[in-house]
């Protein structure tokens, strides 16, 4: 009689379980495949959404593309071109590195990929369903990669039923789109919703991107901030007090171009505005911190919105001082440490 009960899970099931970590909703798919396009060096990215991502999420990029073998490999779990050694983890410049996104997506959706490297004559088309490759064939294609994700959670009814209304899911998608667009003003983005062009964001400078995303009236309300030290650099904009809102929308931190949430750093900004704002209003800001990757740990959670960094206190103080200086220079607040 055999008493052994422990078995390895089949890949398809293991991936489906792992997918729960990475892919919560259509917006998670948008984040992962748009970030892949950024990592591929794309200068133009087109996002197409149907039925708030429940039937189609498609991303077309003009990035580096993949060879036939890489295209196939990219769908495997822990398959990545971005991390080779453990040391690389402390010098990350890419958005991805886990090699989990595509493997997770193919476990819970139908995925079609067309990809071509510029020097190759032909590209590759792959169709996958339930982690199984159904078709792989050469195809004529423009350089770059197009990934279409159809019928998310089609094989996980419980997850599909838990999706929220179209308007809620679409709001999450817009949130991701805006974060990535703000992190990369040098990239052109087009967003199509149900075949209608919803947003066209031509490549430009940061100020232009902020105005494209939030509206022309912000042009008058942006106060630039800027600081460079040997530990970090800070750039971006805070809104004048009249841009502040009661609701907590319009707060963006990016560390090394990665959107993060940080109530600690938010507190530093609030401190800088001090009594310039009425009670319970939140300043508008889009703030970019550049920190040596060795000093931060992005490896805390698959969705990577939280980050741990050394010298928290120091960064807090620099940030607050930098904003005060910016507000002082814009004559919004008397500044004791203004530069001449
Ligand atoms: P990660 O981004 O963590 O490496 P993914 O599962 O998101 O893992 O992607 C796996 C690999 O597939 C990437 O490392 C990259 O080499 C390749 N890849 C994915 N999307 C693209 C793309 N749009 N253009 C070129 N290569 C891509
Ligand atoms: Mg990725």
* DSSP codes of every residue in 196-210: EEEEEE-S--HHHHH
pLDDT in tens, 243-257: 888 888 899 999 989
Q: Which of 19, 28, 39 to mutate to test the pocket of ligand 1 (most atoms within 8 A of CB)?
A: 39
Domain with CATH 3.30.230.10 in the chain: 216-329
Cα(41) to centroid(ligand 2), Å: 13
Cα(92) to centroid(ligand 2), Å: 13
Domain 11-201 has CATH 3.40.190.10: no
CA distance to 181, 259, 296, per residue, from 286 (Å): 12, 10, 20
Rounded distance between C-alpha atoms, residue 249 and residue 316, angstroms = 21
pLDDT in tens, 66-118: 999 999 999 988 888 877 777 777 777 777 777 789 999 999 999 999 999 99
User: Is 256's C-beta closer than 6 angstroms to any atom of ligand 1?
Assistant: no
User: Is 113's C-beta closer than 6 angstroms to any atom of ligand 1?
Assistant: no
Contact (Cβ atoms closer than 8 angstroms) between residue 145 and residue 66: yes
State mean pLDDT over 283-294: 92
Q: What is the pLDDT of residue 54?
A: 96
pLDDT in tens, 148-198: 999 999 999 989 999 999 999 999 999 999 999 999 999 999 999 999 999
CATH code of the domain occupying 216-329: 3.30.230.10
Q: What is the pLDDT of residue 108?
A: 94
Higher pLDDT, 131 or 304: 131
Domain with CATH 3.30.565.10 in the chain: 11-201
Ligand 1 atom with minimal separation from the 61 CA? 23
User: Is 28's C-beta closer than 6 angstroms to any atom of ligand 1?
Assistant: no
Confidence of residue 333 (pLDDT cuts 50, 70, 90): confident
User: Is 72's C-beta closer than 6 angstroms to any atom of ligand 1?
Assistant: no
Rounded to 5°, angle at Cα 219 from 48 and 251 = 65
Contact (Cβ atoms closer than 8 angstroms) between residue 240 and residue 250: no
> How far is Cα of residue 215 from the mean position of the Cα atoms in its chain?
21
Cα(176) to centroid(ligand 2), Å: 14
């Amino acid at each position: 009689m055999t008493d052994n009960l422990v078995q390895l899970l089949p890949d398809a099931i293991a991936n489906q379980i792992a997918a729960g970590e990475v892919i919560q909703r259509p917006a998670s798919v948008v984040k992962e495949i748009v970030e892949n396009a950024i990592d591929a060096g794309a200068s133009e990215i087109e996002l197409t959404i149907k039925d708030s991502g429940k039937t189609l999420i498609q991303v077309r990029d003009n990035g580096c593309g993949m060879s036939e073998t890489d295209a196939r490999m990219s769908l495997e779990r822990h398959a990545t071109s971005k991390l080779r050694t453990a040391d690389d983890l402390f010098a990350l410049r890419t958005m991805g590195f886990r090699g989990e996104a595509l493997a997770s997506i193919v476990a819970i959706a139908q995925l079609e990929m067309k990809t071509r490297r510029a020097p190759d004559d032909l590209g590759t088309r792959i169709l996958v369903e339930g982690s199984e490759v159904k078709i792989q064939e050469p195809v004529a294609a423009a350089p770059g990669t197009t990934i279409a994700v159809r019928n998310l959670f089609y094989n996980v009814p419980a997850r599909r039923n838990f999706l929220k209304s179209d308007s809620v899911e679409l709001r999450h998608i817009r949130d991701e789109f805006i974060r990535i667009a703000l992190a990369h003003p040098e990239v052109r983005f087009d967003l199509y919703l149900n075949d209608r062009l919803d947003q066209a964001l031509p490549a430009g400078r940061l100020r232009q991107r902020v105005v494209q995303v939030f509206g022309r009236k912000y042009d008058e309300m942006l106060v630039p901030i800027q600081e460079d030290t040997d530990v970090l650099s800070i750039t971006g904009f805070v809104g004048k007090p009249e841009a502040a809102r009661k609701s907590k929308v319009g707060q963006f931190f990016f560390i090394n171009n990665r959107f993060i949430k940080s109530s600690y750093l938010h507190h530093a900004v609030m401190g800088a505005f001090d009594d310039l704002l009425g009670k319970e209003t939140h300043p508008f800001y889009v703030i970019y911190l550049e920190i040596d990757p060795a000093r931060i740990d992005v490896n805390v959670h698959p969705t990577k919105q939280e980050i741990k960094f050394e010298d928290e206190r120091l960064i807090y103080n620099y940030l607050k001082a930098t904003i005060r200086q910016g507000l002082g220079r814009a004559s919004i607040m008397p500044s004791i440490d203004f530069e001449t």
